[in-house]
Amino acid sequence: MTENAYAKINLSLDVVRRRDDGYHDVNMIMQSLELHDTVHAEFTDGGIEVTCDSGAVPNGEGNIAYRAARLMIDKCGADCGVRIHIEKRIPVCAGLAGGSTDGAAVIRAMNGLLGADFDAETLESIAAKVGSDVPFCINGGTALAFGTGTDIKKLPPFGNHIVLLVKPPIDVPTPWVYKNLNLGAIVHPDIDGFISALSRGDADAALATSGNVLESVTASKYPIIEKIKSEMTNRGAKFAMMSGSGPTVFGIFEKTTDAENAARFFKKSFDEVIVTKTV
Ligand code: ATP
């Protein structure tokens, strides 16, 4: 079985509170991109094998896909194994849910392979055990992720927009970003305003409410984030923001030629520059 595993960006990201268990309650507008990994899965007599064509991602037990396969086999009490191969196109450690979406693709593929036919709610609850972005990646599209990020509410579609992704070569561990977030000092984006603009079919009004509170941490340590945002805006992006905890910056463009010209500009300085679109 072969599944496309779509990347995501956060069109808006708010952190509401720090919980007693150390996690955070969030409100995130999640959006799938056409950019995807391809995940192949086939039955074997026993054991779980995971390989990936990227050296940046672990094979075997360290791969998020392995954890997803283990949970599905255990949940179904299945007496079989699975061989998984991942063709990686999504930049790694980028804030684009590259690992989470592979995990979700494995859950979808194995739901079919094992004939389990679990409903969406069951699949999302299995996904939540794999990682906090995994439940969104089960169905993708445009959605609100709330609670610790594992509760999903489908939203009206944001529509098809051209997106430029630029990932600067810096490593931003997500736990470090949350640890350094000063909840008392952040300006919260208007998530309700985003959703009501989306319900009116007004994507531009929705974007006017957007913000990513995690930018306050990542961009103050790495000025390159703000630099990429302003270069994108100068080159025709109608909106530019960091995705997730970073470091990838995305820009939304009206014109493909502007996005492609901007991509050519950024490719002079960065290896990971991709033109894609929202789906
Ligand atoms: P998110 O946006 O959900 O925070 P991310 O895009 O920042 O995720 P990932 O690309 O998912 O980060 O990688 C996070 C870590 O997971 C890396 O250290 C990577 O080696 C590891 N990993 C394990 N399995 C995978 C996979 N299938 N694809 C990508 N990374 C994986």
What's the chain's length in residues? 279
- Which amino acid is located at 172 in the chain? V
Mutate which of 3, 15, 64 for ligand 1 pocket (most atoms within 8 A of beta carbon): 64
- Which amino acid is located at 13 in the chain? L
pLDDT of residue 78: 86
Pairing of strands 81-87, 48-52: parallel
CB 179 within 8 A of CB 218: no
* C-alpha–C-alpha distance, residues 237 and 160, integer Å: 15
Mean pLDDT across the stretch 80-84? 94
> What's the start-to-end Cα distance of the chain, in Å?
22
Torsion sign, CA atoms 53, 140, 264, 233: negative
For the CA atoms of 17, 18, 23, 28, what is the dihedral angle to 10 degrees?
A: 20
Q: 121 exposed, middle or buried (CB, 10 Å; 0-12, 13-18, 19+)?
A: exposed
Q: What is the pTM of this model?
A: 0.95
Please tell me whether residue 239 adopts helix, strand or coil conformation: strand
User: Per-residue pLDDT for 268 more than 90?
Assistant: yes
Atom of ligand 1 nearest to the CA of 174: 4
User: Per-residue pLDDT for 79 more than 90?
Assistant: no
pLDDT of residue 46: 86
CB 68 within 8 A of CB 109: no
Instruction: Give the model's confidence band at 145: pLDDT under 50 very low, under 70 low, under 90 confident, else very high.
Output: very high
| 154 φ/ψ sector (left φ>0, alpha ψ -120 to 50, else beta) | beta
Mutate which of 84, 92, 150, 178 for ligand 1 pocket (most atoms within 8 A of beta carbon): 92
The residues carrying an active-site annotation are 8, 133
Q: Edge-to-edge strands of the sheet including 272-277? A: 237-242, 249-253, 162-167, 272-277
User: Per-residue pLDDT for 9 more than 90?
Assistant: yes
Task: Give nearest CA residue, ligand 1 atom 19.
Answer: 57
State the distance from the centre of ligand 1 to the C-alpha of 201, rounded, in angstroms: 33
Ligand 1 residue neighbourhood (C-beta within 6 Å): 57-58, 63-65, 86, 92-100, 102, 133, 174, 244
Atom of ligand 1 nearest to the CA of 86: 27
DSSP 15-68: EEEE-TTS-EEEEEEEEEEEEEEEEEEEEESS-EEEEES-TTS--GGGSHHHHH
Cβ count within 10 A of residue 207? 19
Instruction: Give the model's confidence band at 142: pLDDT under 50 very low, under 70 low, under 90 confident, else very high.
Output: very high
Which alpha helices (H) appear in the chain, and where do they start and end?
A: 64-76, 98-113, 120-130, 134-139, 174-179, 191-199, 203-208, 215-221, 224-234, 256-267
Atom of ligand 1 nearest to the CA of 245: 4
State the distance from the centre of ligand 1 to the C-alpha of 92, rounded, in angstroms: 6
State the distance from the centre of ligand 1 to the C-alpha of 62, rounded, in angstroms: 10
User: How far lies 51's CA from each of 59, 64, 65, in Å?
Assistant: 5, 11, 9
Atom of ligand 1 nearest to the CA of 133: 3
CB 213 within 8 A of CB 241: no
Task: Give nearest CA residue, ligand 1 atom 27.
Answer: 99
Task: Give nearest CA residue, ligand 1 atom 24.
Answer: 63
* C-alpha–C-alpha distance, residues 84 and 5, integer Å: 13
pLDDT in tens, 107-129: 999 998 888 889 988 999 999 99
Longest dimension (CA), the chain: 57
pLDDT of residue 12: 98
